[in-house]
Structure 1
Amino acid sequence: MTPQPLTHHEIIGLAEPFTRGGRQVDLAASNRLERRLVFKRAERALQPADERSADPAAASVAAPLAASLAASLAALADTGPLTEVLHLDSFGTGTFRLTRTLTHASGLQATLEAMGPEPAALLARVDAVPPQRQFRAGPRFVVARSYALEGAATPVLRRGVVQADGLNLTMTVSAVRGVSADITLAQTTPGPALALPEDLLAVLGWDWARLIRKPAGWASKMRLRGGAARRTHTAEAALDRAAAHLAQTLAEPPARFHERHVAARRGVVLRRAIPLMTPVLLVITVLALPRFDVDNSPLWVLLYHVPTVCILLSFRLQELPQFEIPPWPRRSQAVSWRPASGT
């Protein structure tokens, strides 16, 4: 059964806790038929420099991370206040969803959603999450994080967007335990497509997969472990690391990427070669075992388990195993990640 449109009396009742806090209903943007109230835009200033040490997020982390957070807040403050818009959806069943949308000067948006039976309680939960929790900034990059408040007041990351030098990285975090985060990269500047290497993100560690070229950009994955809190913490750290990595990489010639990550790039090649190495090592093991003294040679035991170890490693890869000979990484001779027009 379709819920009835919001009545004038319902609008006044739903808006009361918001107007009490100084927010005003935007009647032109609201939709009575869809039972949605939209509140007028408001500016949300970030904490001034002399108050940043009071941020509970900074107080609960180690000194290096706290310093990084302070630097991020300073960079965000330099871009001006964030713009906030609140949406309250009534499902007609006694359940409401409050969505806060924050917009950065760069155009990036971050949302925070909360669901429950009391709009006033939802507003209190949303206001308890400081705006700076949803943004990070650094040299040549901005990170926007979208959360959902599930159960307790601890935000659970659902989506993160990195904007770095004409490239947007979007990480979508599944609510299902054990499912890897989906990553997409899209070019935001006109012109020829960036000549990005497949191991651009894979050099960050075992949990990162290689880039796969798609019509609209690139796709990848990242492994997330544990429950919602651990997955959120891991994804937040991964977004910050990827943002700094992309900003630095795109600001330098392609040759510098190889020079700084040559060992990691070779490690990526070995990871991609694991599926092919498994049957090869199995054949070598079968041919070599008769040459060893089973009773007296410890090397026999090690050789016997090599194929098993390779099979286990194959299941830990972030992408479907492929029987391929991955190309050996080489130093690029290009002067820029952006090919010249007409090439």
Structure 2
Amino acid sequence: MTPLTHHEILTLVGPFARDEWRVDLAATDRQNRCVVFEPRTHDNPEDPSSLSLTEHLQLENPARGRFFLRRTLTEASGLSATLEVTGEDPASVYAQCAHVPPHDHFRHQAGTLAAISYALEYRRPAPNAEPGWRRRFTLGEACVRGRRLQFDARTVPGLPAKLTLDWHPRGDIHLPGDLLAVQGWAWRPLQLMPGGWKATVKLSRREPERSQEAEERFLATVAHLEQTLSQPPARFHERFKWQRWRVVFQRSLAIQGMLAILSAIPILYWGDFGQDGQVPLWTTGVPPVMLLAIFLSWSREVPVMEIPPLPKPLLANAWEQGPTTEGVSD
């Protein structure tokens, strides 16, 4: 890979220069063929409620006929979103990037600002598919009641999105595992990890349905957390009592399946299956097949064999740790 020459840089930045983008020569990495542009600010002084965004552009040319443009938009609070475009020439990737308005990346959800990152992909003509550029959801971020929420859909197509929720800076009480799962079957229970909690959210395997579901479920999660954490913990049990019992049933499906397999084994061996009470050889393969069916039914997730805790009212006075916060039982 040869470093970028001054002549190549002038050729690559032509489409950008027409829109008055200036190259930041100090930040440009010629060795790695990466051109960096000076930042640009987007704000509306006449509208105090509008967002003030700082836009950064970075163009990479790792190989002949391959260009990668990354646009990073940062809001005044520090929340940021990106748009990634891959194409065969700099003019096309910049044109597609310019078609996505900067403010499309930011949404107000239940009073909380959420940032959504996308990737633009070009679909070549194929049977039963329309050619053209398609916007794909990659990452959603928000700061909800002091906690950083991240909704990562950059996984292998078919796998669920990864969700992480950081601890509150002042510390958190023991959040209930079903805090997000009460929203529906797509949300898996929270699991404690260093620095916060993690979970997964089931999504469709194919586009564009996958991106549509990811955006809807990310924004729904932001609204749910904002509404839930703005009220006392005891209110959570009152609002979602029956949903919490549904989560108990959902979390126990794996153990229910295992118990069903264990129950089927004596039935297969004690039943009267043929002459002289002999058990057919095929019956020995039934338990493994049933066990395999349990794993396949989890939509490419590993089922957790657990006896989930029964839902109980939360006893704390507030979600974040404080001098008056009591313990919580999940």
Task: Choose from 162, 169, 172 the match for 1:182.
Answer: 162
1:157, distance to aligned residue in structure 2 (A) = 1.1
Give the Cα separation in 1 of the matches to 2:20 and 2:242. 56
1:275–1:80 CA distance, 2 compared to 1 (3 A): closer
1:204–1:312 CA distance, 2 compared to 1 (3 A): farther
1:95 counterpart = 2:66: yes
1:154 counterpart = 2:134: yes
Q: Secondary structure at the match of 1:185?
A: strand
Q: How does 1:28-67 map to 2 (within 5 A)?
A: 28-45=26-43
Give the Cα separation in 2 of the matches to 1:267 and 1:312. 22
- In structure 1, the residue matched to 2:81 is 110
1:43–1:282 CA distance, 2 compared to 1 (3 A): same
Unpaired runs of at least 5, structure 1: 50-76, 290-307
1:294-326 superposed Cα distances (whole Å, 9 cap, x missing partner): xxxxxxxxxxxxxx9998676444753333321
Asked whether the 8 Å contact 1:95–1:115 carries over to 2, the reply is yes
Give the Cα separation in 1 of the matches to 2:82 and 2:18. 23
1:313–1:208 CA distance, 2 compared to 1 (3 A): farther
1:40, distance to aligned residue in structure 2 (A) = 1.4
1:202–1:312 CA distance, 2 compared to 1 (3 A): farther
Q: How does 1:196-235 map to 2 (within 5 A)?
A: 196-235=175-214
Q: Secondary structure at the match of 1:129?
A: coil
1:138–1:10 CA distance, 2 compared to 1 (3 A): same
1:316–1:265 CA distance, 2 compared to 1 (3 A): farther
1:90–1:311 CA distance, 2 compared to 1 (3 A): closer
Asked whether the 8 Å contact 2:28–2:34 carries over to 1, the reply is yes
- In structure 1, the residue matched to 2:103 is 132
Asked whether the 8 Å contact 1:4–1:92 carries over to 2, the reply is no
| Structure 1 range deviating more: 234-243 or 103-112 | 103-112
Unpaired runs of at least 5, structure 2: 123-131, 269-288
What's the RMSD between the two structures over aligned residues? 3.1
1:272 counterpart = 2:251: yes
TM-score, length basis structure 2: 0.81
1:244 counterpart = 2:223: yes
Task: Choose from 287, 306, 309 the match for 1:324.
Answer: 306
Task: Please identify which structure carries the higher helix content.
Answer: 1
Q: Secondary structure at the match of 1:150?
A: strand
Asked whether the 8 Å contact 1:275–1:310 carries over to 2, the reply is no
1:281, distance to aligned residue in structure 2 (A) = 4.5
1:194–1:17 CA distance, 2 compared to 1 (3 A): farther
1:288, distance to aligned residue in structure 2 (A) = 9.4
Task: Choose from 304, 321, 328 the match for 1:339.
Answer: 321
- In structure 2, the residue matched to 1:192 is 171
Give the Cα separation in 2 of the matches to 1:20 and 1:119. 13
Asked whether the 8 Å contact 1:79–1:105 carries over to 2, the reply is no
Q: Percent of aligned pairs with the same residue? A: 37
- In structure 2, the residue matched to 1:23 is 21
- In structure 2, the residue matched to 1:119 is 90
Q: Which amino acid is 2:223 matched to? A: A
1:242-267 superposed Cα distances (whole Å, 9 cap, x missing partner): 00001111111111111111111110
